[in-house]
Structure 1
Amino acid sequence: MDKVRTRVMAKSEELLTNSEDGLKVKITLKDGRVLEHTTGRADILGSQKNPWGFDSIRAKFEENVALVLNDDDVNRAVQAWSDIPEVTNVAELVRSTLVATKA
């Protein structure tokens, strides 16, 4: 990791910045060049001003869960978690998603 060094601002430093502008990234290269970029708040996917729709959330969930489940179990998991507002037992839902039920 001698090529990359990271530094995260302390909470006290964050309070001194204007976060309404967006999220800032600053990269200082070994040769002294500085690269900076600010992503505007409205451009941040998943923010209050730019929320994800259900289709985007489902697609992301399917992509991730497909890494560990087969197609049938992915579809079953999507169906189960799509009704999350109606869930009364999250532990059981997690268990049913992670433990394949084979007939």
Structure 2
Amino acid sequence: MCIGINSEVKVNANIGNSGLASYIPIELEKVKIAIKYGVDTIMDLSTGEAIKITREAITKVITVPIGTVPIYEALRVAGSIKNMSVNLLRVFALAGEL
């Protein structure tokens, strides 16, 4: 996939749970609709309680590249920005989960 000035427009769909709404079937429906209409990539921006479970469900149905934001899950585990550490960030950035 080419992304940049010499390529066509890339369409990205941002989905994911939050502290206010965390219903996996709705996120999966969003993924299916986005793919149906030609999205190039999916970005999982989950910040709620079930980040790992939501991501696992999404990755089972996608047919396009997916991106995540590891710092959201690291912050969920740390509980506070004060408890964040370089090692915790590395765990999520390199492996995507504990």
After TM superposition, the score normalised by the length of structure 1 is: 0.22
Higher RCO, 1 vs 2 (CA within 8 Å, ≥6 residues apart): 2
- Length-normalised TM-score, structure 2: 0.23
**Greater Cα radius of gyration, structure 1 or 2:** 1
